[in-house]
Amino acid sequence: MRETATYKIVIIYLILCFVWGSTWLAIKMSLESFPPFLSAGIRFVIASFTIYFLMNIRGTELQTDKEALKLYFMLGFFSFVIPFGLVYWAEQFVDSGLASVLFAVYPFFVAIFSYFLIPNEEIGIVRIVGMILGFSGIVVIFHDSFSLTISDYILGMFAIVLSAIMQAFMAVTIKKRGKYLNPLTMNLIPMLIAGFIMMLIGLFYEGWDKVRLTEKGIIAVIYLAVIGSVVTFTSFYWLLKKVSVIIMSFIAFITPIVAIFLGWILYDETLSEKHTLGTALVLIGVFIANLPQNSIEKIKKMAARYF
């Protein structure tokens, strides 16, 4: 039974890596049809109604205690409205691959917030080494994409980093305070809040006149709503109850690799030797981070036997 549960965790973790890696490109595609806030708003409205439908089928009741309501509103604004507003706005100026790479600061901030908010959440030297290696791979891949010129491009980069920091804080907060919440109910109210607020912003400040309906754009929004929101966030919160929030944060190191290859296949974005080297460093870093925390002591003992 334990092996089955482990396999289920690994499979869902890998699915999250792939789907979230693909959402960066899907967001880029959706912006070909809809302006940023309108696109995100439509996405989350569709997602919230899908979750409501699933809850009715499963007979899942909405949890409405005082703590749950606080977390719903925190998630609504600090996991969806502001972070996704920043990302959607930024992807008008930043390539999908680079956007996913910038978001890879997420694990570092998860570690920082965990240190202060969840003292019993073990970070350890092994995970720190893995984190450094993983991020080094990200830097290798995109070191020549960074610019210090103040423009929409650099502001877009900062917007994505700020989004990652907010998401990191909320992941740690949910790990600490939201374990008792059902993964579906944890998403319903926050996504509904995000959907209507972002649609209102889109209608008043962007307008329908900027909408250019295309088959690709419509499919991208539906994919982002159902697969990129309902499936991923429900799975993420389910995994968060079973896996260290530090390990969960390493998804942010794998998604850029998925985004790079999808960008290369679908958008003719560049793929070179530095991408291969960077990818190798990321995978090594993730592997090391998932080693048991007493690995260094075991390696030392093994080495002492032979040297």
What pLDDT is recorded for position 145? 57
What pLDDT is recorded for position 116? 81
Specify the pTM. 0.81
How many domains is the chain partitioned into structurally?
1
pLDDT digits (tens, 9 = 90+) for 276-304: 677 677 767 666 665 665 555 554 454 45
What HEC string does the chain produce?
Answer: CHHHHHHHHHHHHHHHHHHHHHHHHHHHHHCCCCCHHHHHHHHHHHHHHHHHHHHHHHCCCCCCCHHHHHHHHHHHHHHHHHHHHHHHHHCCCCCHHHHHHHHHHHHHHHHHHHHHHCCCCCCHHHHHHHHHHHHHHHHHHHHHHCCCCCCHHHHHHHHHHHHHHHHHHHHHHHHHHCCCCCCCHHHHHHHHHHHHHHHHHHHHHHCHHHCCCCHHHHHHHHHHHHHHHHHHHHHHHHHHCCCCHHHHHCHHHHHHHHHHHHHHHHHCCCCCHHHHHHHHHHHHHHHHHCCCCCHHHHHHHHHHHHC
Residue 105's domain comprises: 2-306
pLDDT digits (tens, 9 = 90+) for 111-162: 888 878 887 766 667 667 777 777 777 667 666 655 545 566 778 888 988 9
